[in-house]
Amino acid sequence: MSEFATLTVAGKTHQLPVIEGSEQEKAIDISDLRDQTGYVTLDRGYKNTGATKSAITFLDGEKGILRYRGYPIEQLAEQSNFLEVAYLLIHGNLPTQPEIEDFTRQITVHTLVNEDMKKIFDGFPVNAHPMGVLSSLVCSLTAFYPEPADTRSSVDKLNLNIIRLLAKMPTIAAWSYKNSQGHPVNYPKNKFDYCANFLYMMFALPVEDYTPDPVVVDAMNKLLILHADHEQNCSTSTVRLVGSSKVNLFSAISAGINALWGPLHGGANQEVIEMLEAIRADGGGTRKFIDQAKDKTSGVRLMGFGHRVYKNFDPRAKIIKVACDQILKKLGVDDPILEIAKNLEAAALSDSYFIERKLYPNVDFYSGIIYRALGIPTDMFTVMFALGRLPGWIAQWKEMNEAKEPIGRPRQIYTGERERNYVAMTNR
C-alpha cells in the first residue's frame, strides 16, 4: 500500500506521497506542494532536501557507509584501480576484461591536448592558482570540441567527449603545475598507466630520467578512488544544476571544479596543511588552535573536520589515516606534521565541543599529508581531488541527462522592499 504524509496548512489537510529508495531511505515528495497549497518549502543549504533520485552512490552518514554502485568503498580502495572505478561509476557495472582494455586504450590515445591550448597557459601569470587554470582550460575544451557534447548528440559522440575529458584532465593539471614552475611541459607517454602518466608529466625534467615509483602510483590510485564520487555534494550538485540547462559537458564540469575549490569543500585539503604548518610554526601545541576553532568570533575552523552528512565517522578518512601511516613508511618519509595532525585529532575527539556537534575528521584531514609525501605541491592538492572526482561528476551529469531531469530552478522567500516608485536623481 502506498504511504502518504499528511500536512495541514492554513486549515486544510493535504496528502503528500512518500517515496522509498533501495536502501529504505524515505522522502516526502513535495513536487506538487505549491500547486496544492500555494506554499513552498524553505531549506537553506539544502540540509534536508533530496534534489534527485540517483543510482550511483549510496552513503549512510550515521553508519559511516559509502558504496559506489553497491560496492563498498573499502573493497574498491583495496582491490580496484582508478580507471576501473571510473568505468563502474559512469557505466553502472564493473567492466569485463575486453571492456576495461578498450576503455583504457581509448583514454590513452586521447591524452594529448591541442597545441593551441599552450597559448592559453601562457596567458596566465606564473602564480595563478592551478584550480583557476584547470577550470578555465577545461571550459576552453568547448572551443576545441564545439559539437554538442550532451545526450542529444549520439551516444558515440557523448562517449568520445567523456573519454576526452578523462584523458586530458591529467595533462591539463600537470601542465598547469609545469607552467607555474616556469618549466617546459612534458607530453603524455602512452607506455604509462593513468596515474603513472600524470606523475611523469608532473615530475619528469628534461635533464634527468624519471620513472614513477610504484608505491606512489598505488597511493595515487587509492586516493583518486576514495574521492571518485560522493552523491549530491556541493560540486556534484553544481554539475547537475549547471548541466540541467543542457549546457555542454565541459562547461558543467568546469563549474564543478570551481565549486570544489572553496575551502569548505575540496579546498579544505590545502587549508589543512596550511593549518598544520601554522601550528608547527607556533611550537606544535594544539590547545591554542582548538580553543580558537571553538570560539565563534575567531573566524577559525578546524579544517578537515566536520561533514554535512557524516555524523559518526567518514569511512574515507578511516582508510586514508591507515594508508597515510603505511605510505609514509614505505616512502621513508618522516613528516613532523603527521604527529601534529594525530595530536590535533585526538584533542578534538576528546573535546565536548566537537563531540556534541558530531565533528570528525573528513576525507581532507589526512589526504594532504599523503599528497605531500608523494611530492605534490600544496596548491595542487585540490587539483588532485578534482582528478579523482571527475568520473563521479561525469556519471552524475550523464544520469541527470538520461533521466531528462527538468532545469534546476529553486524558489525563494523574498524579504526585500515592497513595490515603490522610482525617484529622479535630482530629488534624492
Question: What are the residues binding ligand ACO (CB under 6 A)?
Answer: 45, 264-266, 268, 293, 301-308, 357, 359, 362-364
CB closer to ligand ACO out of 301 and 398: 301
CA atoms within 13 A on the CB side of 366: 25
CB closer to ligand ACO out of 23 and 291: 291
Phi-psi domain of 332 (left: phi exceeds 0; alpha: psi -120 through 50; beta: other): left
CB closer to ligand ACO out of 118 and 357: 357
Q: How far is the CB of 173 from ligand ACO (least distance, A)?
A: 18
Question: Which residue do the cell numbers 607530453 mark?
Answer: 187
Q: How far is the CB of 316 from ligand ACO (least distance, A)?
A: 9
Q: How far is the CB of 132 from ligand ACO (least distance, A)?
A: 19
Interacting residues of 383 by C-beta distance below 8 A, sequence separation 6+ = 130, 131, 134, 173, 176, 177
Q: DSSP of 291-343, one letter per residue? A: HHHH-TTS----TTB--SS-SS--HHHHHHHHHHHHHHHHHT---HHHHHHHH
Q: What is the SS3 assignment for 47?
A: coil
What span, in angstroms and rounded, lies between the C-alpha atoms of 345 and 320? 14
Interacting residues of 236 by C-beta distance below 8 A, sequence separation 6+ = 229, 230, 256, 389, 392, 393, 396
CB closer to ligand ACO out of 107 and 293: 293
CB closer to ligand ACO out of 307 and 321: 307
CB closer to ligand ACO out of 130 and 212: 130
CB closer to ligand ACO out of 136 and 362: 362
Question: Mutual orientation of helices 364-373 and 268-281 as an angle, nearest 10°?
Answer: 80
Task: Give me 224's grid cell.
Answer: 583518486
Helices (H), 182-246: 194-203, 214-227, 234-243
Q: How far is the CB of 264 from ligand ACO (least distance, A)?
A: 4
Task: Give me 194's grid cell.
Answer: 593513468
Q: How far is the CB of 354 from ligand ACO (least distance, A)?
A: 7
Q: How far is the CB of 363 from ligand ACO (least distance, A)?
A: 5
Structural contact between residues 52 and 236, judged by C-beta atoms closer than 8 angstroms:
no
Interacting residues of 202 by C-beta distance below 8 A, sequence separation 6+ = 174, 177, 178, 186, 376
Q: How far is the CB of 153 from ligand ACO (least distance, A)?
A: 32
Q: How far is the CB of 142 from ligand ACO (least distance, A)?
A: 27
Structural contact between residues 354 and 311, judged by C-beta atoms closer than 8 angstroms:
no
Structural contact between residues 304 and 298, judged by C-beta atoms closer than 8 angstroms:
no
Q: Which residues are catalytic?
A: 307, 364
Q: Which residue is nearest to ligand ACO (CB)?
A: 306
Task: Give me 221's grid cell.
Answer: 590510485
CB closer to ligand ACO out of 351 and 405: 351
Q: How far from each other are the two terminal CA atoms of the chain, in whole angstroms? A: 64
Q: Are strands 57-60 and 65-68 parallel, antiparallel or unpaired?
A: antiparallel
